[in-house]
Amino acid sequence: MTTKASQFLVDSDSKAFDLEHRRKIRFNIGKYNTAVQQGLEWYRDHELARSRAAYRKAQIVNNLDQYLLQWEETFTRRGGKVIWAQDAKEALVEIGKIVQRRRARTVVKAKSMTTEEIHLNDYLEKNGVESVETDLGEYIVQLNGERPYHIVTPAMHLSKKDIADIFVKHLKIAPTDDAQQLVYTARKLLRNKYTSAEIGITGGNFLVADVGGVAVTENEGNARLSAAFPRTHIAIVGIEKLIPTLQDLDLFWPLLSTSGTGQQLTVYNTVYLGPRQPLEKDGPDEMYVVLLDNGRTNLLAQPDKREALQCIRCGACLNVCPVYKNIGGHTYEATYSGPIGSVITPHLAGFEDNKHLSYASSLCGACTSVCPVRIPIHNILLLNRQQTVREHHNDADEARGIKLWLYGMKHRWLWGMAPLSAKRWVLNRLLGQTGWNKRREAVQLAPKSFRQLWKERQP
């Protein structure tokens, strides 16, 4: 039976040697890295901003229950409704009830990784509801039947020609290499969806505790349209997305945009405080916020790893990761890819099936060095590996191999007794099983050990 770990190795091998894929990714990530370096120049003291953000998020994570209750009280006071979802199934059931009550046939969605996490599109389609992604990158990968490739840039793996081919195939347009024409085509199709959809669904970059708001940051305006036109607005947000006060957005919005895209500030930044109030001209008649746990409290219960909940989903760690740049986002087979995905996915989706992700890292520390909220990502990856072994999720062959190695290290005389040919056979068999010899010459053992050479020099 093919496991996720074995499939990960197969897909990694395929993508790492796909030169065209690597060309596209390095080109696109290179553009982002250049923009981010320019964006950082606007900061007088970027390191101080990172430290302040880390401190504020640590406050939230260590007092999450208090801030969640404060946010709920303030949000419901303005007529908003809150749904607490322990897992994906609970979230989908509650959203399904809203859809049925509104007799919705069409839902417009702004980019949200939490909706990908609970597989909302699949659920809605199985229940006869059209779910339309309105973020351009998400719309493209949805047309192509794919998952988002990157936290910030869902279609990062596609070139302009790839996108044109997708539009020709699925939208039946005339072939074109004009990017503006492709954008115009998508805009024209999506405009009608906003005005006809009964429900709009967004995520939330931040939950603002003191005002009970859901802060959404975007560059295309599609989240605003998704929230303003439909009569019902549903925001699906992880419970860790809290920040203490509205004033903290002054710190977090620029950090998020600079680390993610190199902008001083994204184009559209909105705080939703609930359904339309009596004197307001637009907005939904009702607004629901689904507070999603889905394994986050597993991380919260572990003090040495809970810093991972400080993540603001900027994608900076993906852009610097040498592993991600070689194997790509889809290889991870998880909602969250790259270093931060390797940290949190085992806790959100289970260690047994996702333990291998914590080993998909060179531990170079580049991810930690760019994280705007100072999450020690590479350290937590090591702690995840430790937990994998402690809970006996590691492979039986690996466990036996480590025991044999340990015994051999403690009983050096065994190696001395074995003939050179036997040592070579054992070593190359082990290296062959791990894939070391697949693209390397076989390791050659020296005819004499160090101990033998030393005795000859020092009789």
In three state form, how does the secondary structure of 220-243 look?
CCHHHHHHHCCCEEEEEEECCCEE
Instruction: Write out the H or E segment, with its range, that includes residue 133.
Output: strand 130-133
Give the Å distances, CA to CA, from 298 to 85, 167, 292, 309.
14, 42, 13, 11
Q: Within a domain: residue 373?
A: no
Q: Within a domain: residue 315?
A: no
pLDDT attached to residue 1: 67
Residue whose entry in the numeric block shows the structure tokens 């897992």: 87
pLDDT attached to residue 434: 66
| CA–centroid distance for 342 within its chain | 9
Q: Within a domain: residue 22?
A: no
Which of 294, 329, 363 lies at the terminal end of a domain, its last residue? 294
Q: Do 414 and 272 share a domain, yes or no?
A: no
Q: Within a domain: residue 103?
A: yes
Q: Within a domain: residue 108?
A: yes
Q: Do 259 and 136 share a domain, yes or no?
A: yes
Q: Do 277 and 151 share a domain, yes or no?
A: yes
A 10 A CB-CB count for 369 gives 13
Q: Is residue 347 classed exposed, middle or buried when 0-12, 13-18 and 19+ CB atoms within 10 A define those classes?
A: buried
**pTM attached to this predicted model:** 0.91
Token reading at 143: 């047309």
Q: Within a domain: residue 224?
A: yes
Give the Å distances, CA to CA, from 6 to 13, 27, 277.
11, 29, 54
Token reading at 76: 């419901």
Q: Do 284 and 415 share a domain, yes or no?
A: no
Mean pLDDT by 10 residues, the chain (459 residues): 87 92 92 94 96 97 96 97 97 97 96 94 96 95 94 93 94 90 91 94 97 96 94 97 97 96 95 92 93 96 96 96 95 95 95 93 95 97 94 81 80 78 77 72 81 84
Smallest Cα–Cα separation from 225: which of 290, 270, 292?
270
Nearest 10 degrees: CA dihedral of 51, 53, 55, 60? -170
| CA–centroid distance for 88 within its chain | 16
**DSSP summary character for residue 329:** S
Alpha-carbon distance of 323 to 320, in angstroms, equals: 9
CATH number of the domain to which 213 belongs? 3.40.50.10420
Output b/e per residue, 173-211; b: 16+ Cβ within 10 A. eeeeeeeeebeebbeeebeebbeebbbbbbbbbbbbbee
**Whole domain around residue 159: which residue ranges?**
42-294
Q: Within a domain: residue 205?
A: yes
Q: Return left, alpha or beta for 333; rule: phi > 0 is left, psi -120 to 50 is alpha, else beta.
A: left
Alpha-carbon distance of 288 to 284, in angstroms, equals: 10
Yes or no: say if 209 and 71 are a contact pair by the CB < 8 Å rule.
yes
Yes or no: say if 296 and 238 are a contact pair by the CB < 8 Å rule.
yes
SS3 325: helix
Q: Do 108 and 237 share a domain, yes or no?
A: yes
Give the Å distances, CA to CA, from 87 to 66, 74, 83.
21, 24, 12
Give the Å distances, CA to CA, from 459 to 91, 318, 412, 450.
74, 55, 20, 14
| CA–centroid distance for 127 within its chain | 27
Yes or no: say if 152 and 260 are a contact pair by the CB < 8 Å rule.
yes
Which of 247, 271, 294 lies at the terminal end of a domain, its last residue? 294
Q: Which amino acid is located at 406 in the chain?
A: L
| φ and ψ at residue 241, rounded to 5 degrees | -80, 10
Per the structure, the count of domains in the chain is 2
Alpha-carbon distance of 390 to 105, in angstroms, equals: 48
Q: Within a domain: residue 363?
A: no
Q: Which amino acid is located at 231 in the chain?
A: R
Which of 276, 294, 312 lies at the terminal end of a domain, its last residue? 294
